[in-house]
Structure 1
Amino acid sequence: MKKIFLIILLITGFLLNALSQENNQKHRLEQLHQLFKTYTEEEVIRNAFFRIETADQSILIDTVVGKFADGEEVTLNTPYYTASIGKTFTATAITLLVDQGKLAFEDRVADHLGKVVTGLSVIDGVDYSKELTIHHLLSHTSGMADYFEDTPISGVNMMQKLITEPDHFWKPMELIDFTRQHFKARFQPGLGYHYSDTEYVLLGLIIEKVTKIPLHQFFEKYIINPLSMELTSMNLWSEPVKRPDFPLAEIYAGPIEISRYQSLSADWAGGAIRSSGRDLNDFIKAIFQGNLISESSLQKMQQWVPESKGTYYGYGLRKWVLNELNPSWPALTLIGHSGSTGAYMYFCPELDIYLSGTFNNTDYMQQHIMFLAEILIGISTNSK
């Protein structure tokens, strides 16, 4: 009888402990949901997406808020624009070609594209374009101008043209010519850091030259289809495998809705991907779990160059170090990429957590890192 009583006590204690853990987990998930809701209550946010998951799925949230202008609800099957997260796709594509022996990171760009690069790297009357390497392009150390946000010699930059010429469909070579005609290089290759979409257009052209297929088809063949990324495609260039509920969640540049603009074609290899939280998390998982590229190539993609306080750039990957951004924050890192629309796709190696989503407004470009920091702080605090 005494033995049976002890067994009952043990079972009861086990069940109470399991129930306590379940309640704690439920409370943690509710807190994460509430934090997301708080960030989406701002008037500028018309729709927002958030997915977070641990490798063991002990934490899993996939949620969305908002409506289209016509009143229809956005859903988890509504693809959203990822903006510069597309750079991670392009850098991964280049890395796949390196792993296949078709490219090397130190290849000279001119050896692949010839005169296409002429005039893009002129400093004090000297053209350094023949010194440009794929490494320079991937790491934003080429010194070339950014046609999107730099101040042009004449006229306006692409960020302004995107709004004023919404019906213009930009082809890749047009973007290179636009840079060559209206912008000056910042420094000689390898002598600094300057974020530039021009570099990633050149990388896209290299991929097409080497593989002899369009960039969007390379993405489909080697990234999207192998990872079953059903809602992912290249905006204005291809369609996803799975028919989405709506073509694309509405994007806002401040108060202006731009999701149907043909001028978004100016992103191309630098950021034209539309996707979902699930697809993006699967993508970055595949990168870091060795299911896409080799371990040695992943290490090369993480050759960090200082970008700004607490921020570093590799090959299509950005790293945030939280306690460098704010000394009161924990020593956690986020590795992935952000987009100008408030989009994000990151991996936190210390917590083995993957986070993707967007706030779909260019006015929220900076707030996403504060949101992610608060999410990770909450999780790390509760796990102690």
Structure 2
Amino acid sequence: MNKKRSVFWCFFLLISSTISAQNVEALRTLMQSKLLSMGKNPVHSIQVYISKGDTVFNEAVGFSDGKNIIADKHNQYKIASITKTMTSVVILQLQEEGKLNIENPISAYLQDSKIARINDLHYFNGLSYGNSITLKQLLQHRSGLADIFTDASFRFYLNEYLNKKQEWNAEKLMHRYYKYGLNTKTHFPPDSGYYYSDVNYFLLGLIIEKITGETLAQQFRRRVFEPLQMSQTYFEYYEPVIGSGKLAHSFLGKRDITKILNTSYDWAGGGVVSTNADLAIFLRGIFEGKLYKKDSTLSLMTTMLPHTLKSGRVSYYGLGLYQYTFNGEKYYGHGGFWGSIIAYNPSNKVIFCGTVNQVNPPFKTNQFVESLLSTF
């Protein structure tokens, strides 16, 4: 490189660095404006990661325990339903390897499962549809299956309140599904609508374990965490704590559930703990060719179907991914119950990862994300 070009690049990098530094203060101010220590739904800490190329913003504000521990950008947190994207990745990898086909009925893999009980799994208007549900319908939430967290929320969470330290596993989760009679409270015949249900992903987790002969935790680690070197990520309750162990607390209203509630019930639908930086690595793994061997697999994962929700809003869901629109740009990602969200813009490779660590923040999370991205 000649001297003139060298001077130009130094000047360019200096200007870029200056702009980025100015934005840091604006982004932190925006994050701090959403903190709330009082009220019914306090937001005690916020962590945000945004990147485009070599430009990275990764910061935290507030108190990670809601009291006196200063939030850190490296804090781990419960990613909740972002785990579904990981479950989907493993399923699609198994398809690439010829070990399953997502167009097949789940009965091809779970017919003999005493846990799943395929013949009794789905009744609608007195007819059984369990044998006709496909893996793809589970991935897209188009099976019509009821959800133990929403369709039996009072009974499930009353049990949790009375048995806060109860350990869960796939067998206990499916037992609860049948105990509550949810197999007769389905929403529609398979592939005739959209209804978000964690039970879909419990069944996908069972299929992964059946086909591989390993636990879901082992498959996550073998196929996702280790290849991508996600050193701060682990399947909570199903494997030992890995990484710093410094967990940002999760709040349901005023209640700090981190130390009082055993969330092993999230399993294949939401049981992973991670950090913003590791989730950014995960998104790059999906969209930049590190997790799939075929481009067609990513294309399949990001093929979105529109669904009109009760609110009238149209939602787009693919195979373990939502489609978002922020500032007119298309992103793919997923959100989580405890206030987390990840998103990737394939056109300019912008990555967003963040959490507000509150189930019901007193602001619209998507609007907050949009503001952060426009400020970046």
User: TM-score surpassing 0.5?
Assistant: yes
CA distance in structure 1 between the aligned counterparts of 2:306 and 2:168, rounded to whole angstroms = 31
Per-residue CA deviations over 1:170-196 (Å, capped at 9, x if unaligned) read 221221122223221100000000000
Per-residue CA deviations over 1:355-379 (Å, capped at 9, x if unaligned) read 1121111112973211111122334
CA distance in structure 2 between the aligned counterparts of 1:347 and 1:236, rounded to whole angstroms = 28
Contact 2:322 2:334 in 1 (8 A): yes
Q: Secondary structure at the match of 1:185?
A: coil
2:307 matches 1:303? no
Partner of 1:321: 325
Unaligned runs of 5+ in 2: none
Within a 5 Å distance, the mapping from 1:206-221 to structure 2 comes to 206-221=207-222
Q: Secondary structure at the match of 2:297?
A: helix
CA distance in structure 1 between the aligned counterparts of 2:17 and 2:321, rounded to whole angstroms = 35
2:158 matches 1:170? no
Within a 5 Å distance, the mapping from 1:53-202 to structure 2 comes to 53-54=51-52, 56-68=53-65, 71-114=68-111, 116=116, 117-151=118-152, 156-182=154-180, 183=182, 184-202=185-203
Shift of 1:245: 4.7
CA distance in structure 2 between the aligned counterparts of 1:343 and 1:201, rounded to whole angstroms = 20
Change (3 A) 1:168 1:245: closer
Contact 1:75 1:245 in 2 (8 A): no
CA distance in structure 1 between the aligned counterparts of 2:148 and 2:178, rounded to whole angstroms = 9
Change (3 A) 1:221 1:16: closer
TM-score by length of structure 2 reads 0.88
CA distance in structure 1 between the aligned counterparts of 2:222 and 2:13, rounded to whole angstroms = 45
Contact 2:74 2:276 in 1 (8 A): no
Q: Secondary structure at the match of 2:360?
A: helix
Shift of 1:132: 0.6
Partner of 1:236: 237
Question: Comparing 81-90 with 232-241, which one deviates more in the overlay?
Answer: 232-241
Partner of 2:46: 48
Partner of 1:255: 254
Q: Secondary structure at the match of 1:88?
A: helix
Q: Secondary structure at the match of 1:188?
A: coil
Total equivalences in the alignment:
359
CA distance in structure 2 between the aligned counterparts of 1:231 and 1:108, rounded to whole angstroms = 36
Contact 1:53 1:59 in 2 (8 A): yes
Question: Comparing 248-257 with 162-171, which one deviates more in the overlay?
Answer: 162-171
CA distance in structure 2 between the aligned counterparts of 1:159 and 1:197, rounded to whole angstroms = 15
Point out the structure with max Rg over C-alpha: 1
Shift of 1:161: 3.5
Change (3 A) 1:253 1:245: same
Contact 1:342 1:365 in 2 (8 A): no
Q: Secondary structure at the match of 1:364?
A: coil
Change (3 A) 1:23 1:185: same
Unaligned runs of 5+ in 1: 1-6, 323-329, 380-384
Q: Secondary structure at the match of 1:347?
A: strand
1:219 partner amino acid: F
Contact 1:320 1:335 in 2 (8 A): yes
Question: Comparing 302-311 with 279-288, which one deviates more in the overlay?
Answer: 302-311
Contact 2:339 2:357 in 1 (8 A): yes
Which of 362, 365, 377 is residue 359 of structure 2 equivalent to? 362
CA distance in structure 1 between the aligned counterparts of 2:274 and 2:250, rounded to whole angstroms = 13
Per-residue CA deviations over 1:331-353 (Å, capped at 9, x if unaligned) read 21221100111111111224321
CA distance in structure 1 between the aligned counterparts of 2:273 and 2:358, rounded to whole angstroms = 15
Question: Comparing 64-73 with 231-240, which one deviates more in the overlay?
Answer: 64-73
Change (3 A) 1:344 1:159: farther
Change (3 A) 1:212 1:124: same
Shift of 1:203: 0.4
2:342 matches 1:342? no
Shift of 1:62: 3.6
